[in-house]
Structure 1
Amino acid sequence: MQILRIDSASTGANSISRQVTQALTDHFTAKYPNATLVTRDLVADPLPHIDDARTGAIRQPEDTHTPAMKSVFAEERAVLDEFLASDIVIVGAPMYNFTIPSQLKSWIDRLGVPRLTFRYGENGVEGLAGGRKVVIASSRGGSYELGGTAEHQETLLRDFFGFIGVTDLHFVTVNNAGFGPEAVEQGLASAKEQIAEL
Structure 2
Amino acid sequence: MPTLLHIDTSVSPLETSASRAVTATFRKEWEAQHPNGTVIYRDLAADPVPHLEGLAVAAGFTAPDQHTPELRAAFALRDTLASELEQADAVLIAAPMYNFTIPSTLKAWLDHVIIMGRTAGAEQTTVSGTPTVVVASRGGGYGPGTPRESFEFVTNFLGKALGDGLGLDVEFVVPELTMARSNPAMADLVDAADASMAKAHEEAAAKAKALAARFAA
Shift of 1:60: 1.9
1:127-142 equivalences in 2 (<5 Å): 127-128=124-125, 129-142=127-140
Higher strand fraction (1 or 2): 1
Quick check: 1:98–1:150 contact (8 Å CA) kept in 2? Answer: yes
1:108-127 equivalences in 2 (<5 Å): 108-119=110-121, 126-127=123-124
Q: In the alignment, which residue of structure 1 is the partner of 2:171?
A: 170
Distance 1:114 1:101 in 2: 23
1:144-159 equivalences in 2 (<5 Å): 144-145=142-143, 148-159=149-160
Q: In the alignment, which residue of structure 2 is the partner of 1:74?
A: 76
Quick check: 1:58–1:77 contact (8 Å CA) kept in 2? Answer: no
Over residues 90-121 of structure 1, what are the superposed CA-to-partner deviations in whole Å (9 max), with x where a residue is unaligned?
Answer: 0010000110000000111122211112335x
Query: Which AA in structure 1 matches 2:195?
Result: Q
What is the root-mean-square deviation in Å for CA atoms of aligned residues?
Answer: 2.0
Residue identity over aligned pairs, in percent, reads: 33
Query: Which AA in structure 1 matches 2:136?
Result: S
Quick check: 1:7–1:92 contact (8 Å CA) kept in 2? Answer: yes
Over residues 120-166 of structure 1, what are the superposed CA-to-partner deviations in whole Å (9 max), with x where a residue is unaligned?
Answer: 5xxxxx25222321000121011113694201110001111222212
- Between structure 1 and structure 2, the one with the greater Rg is 2
TM-score by length of 1: 0.88
Q: In the alignment, which residue of structure 1 is the partner of 2:205?
A: 196
The structure-2 alpha-carbon separation of the partners of 1:32 and 1:76, relative to structure 1 and needing over 3 Å to count, comes to same
TM-score by length of 2: 0.81
Quick check: 1:127–1:166 contact (8 Å CA) kept in 2? Answer: no
Distance 2:205 2:6 in 1: 18
1:66-105 equivalences in 2 (<5 Å): 66-105=68-107
Distance 1:171 1:187 in 2: 13
1:49-64 equivalences in 2 (<5 Å): 49-64=51-66
Q: In the alignment, which residue of structure 2 is the partner of 1:161?
A: 162
